[in-house]
Amino acid sequence: MNWLESGLGVLPFTLRDLLFKFVIPTISIIVGIVIIRLLTKRITRRAIKNKERQKKVLRRILQVIRALAGLGIALSALNLLGGRSVIKTIFQALRNPFFTSGNTEISVITLILVIPIFMVASWVGKIASSGLESGKLRRFGLDAERIFTLGRLLRYIITVVIIIFGLSVIGIDLSAIGVFFGVLGIGIGFGLQSVIADLFAGITLIVMALIKEGDRIHVGSYEGNICKIRLMNTELLTFENETLIIPNSQLTGGTIHNFSHKDLSVVIVNEVDVSYDSNLDQVIELLRGVASRNPWLRRDKKIIVRVDSFASSGITMKLRTWIENVTDRAEARSWTNLEIWKVFAHNNIEIPFPQRDVHIKAESEAGTIP
């Protein structure tokens, strides 16, 4: 056997070994990386329209590819330097099962392979969901809610199918899933009721399209915008920029006040008291004028002013104004209150404060006040 010689001595491989055990595998890995990178870019650009999200997905994929490529080159170098027996011993140790159940053998390599299976399943599911929600179904006349629901269902179905297929490929017997559900059934009796309730509540929310990401909702004592809907919980961002993680069972177990379920426009109500000496016809016209100048006004809806009640300190007036978007409700109400204050002050319309008249009745001549 002809060994290569260098200034450091005789190298433990031949020129043929260098070519076939290291150079060709390394070139193949590099070419494979280039091809996979081009294909990944093309698929990602078609499936994901958001540029920032494209870069994020590509960066993660390339990190995984580079790690695998580095591992492949390192193994090639080790094989070239005569480490085949070492590789074989390590590989055999990693393949040695530490758990056996029926036809399923769990080893370290099995656990390592499970990680990319879940990563690929999640990634493919997200891409499929994004591609479906990007507008391809609008040609069939589906609204945004139905597209969102179908996208989420497609994502979970694809994720589960890829996981099941991947587990079967690496040698995990799918009949073990039956054992898993058996253990799950026992676990339900020992405290997993809330987990299962949240899981099925999440499926209900997605299938029935009760809420979707971006909706403004009021649940319990909280109000805010939905950031993300998961199978187990939902993220809610409040007006104070606080993120609340709400279990899905709380959303399906009570009343959900969804301000933007069908229509983003809402009615704001401004209530104000005026003095009993006020001209109500003038007050009604002034209130209607304020509402007509509202920057968030929905022009195709009627402005309603009502005399609501006769309170102890004044007459209660209610102004109902339609606005375009529920997200502007707080600003619209504040603007209207400020304008009412200005208009009433300019026209000498009194806004009475709570007051009580006390009448002291004098005693008769026969009696005295103690």
DSSP for 182-203?
HHHHHHIIIIIHHHHHHHHHHH
pTM score, two decimals? 0.46
Domain ranges of the chain: 1-95, 211-258, 266-346
Per-residue model confidence as pLDDT tens digits over 224-281: 888 888 778 888 888 788 888 888 888 877 777 887 777 788 899 999 999 998 999 9
Q: Which fold has domain 211-258?
A: SH3 type barrels. (2.30.30)
- Per-residue pLDDT, averaged over 46-72, amounts to 77
Q: Which fold has domain 266-346?
A: Alpha-Beta Plaits (3.30.70)
Per-residue model confidence as pLDDT tens digits over 167-225: 777 777 666 556 556 655 665 555 566 777 777 787 777 777 778 888 888 887 788 88
273 closest CA partner among 329, 343, 335, 349: 349
Chain centroid to CA 158: how far? Answer: 18
> pLDDT averaged over the chain?
77
Q: What tokens were used for 276?
A: 């009993």
pLDDT at 101 over 80: no
At a CB cut-off of 8 Å and minimum separation 6, what does 181 contact?
A: none
More confident residue, 325 or 76: 325
- pLDDT of res. 6: 47
For residue 308, the surrounding DSSP H or E stretch is strand 304-310
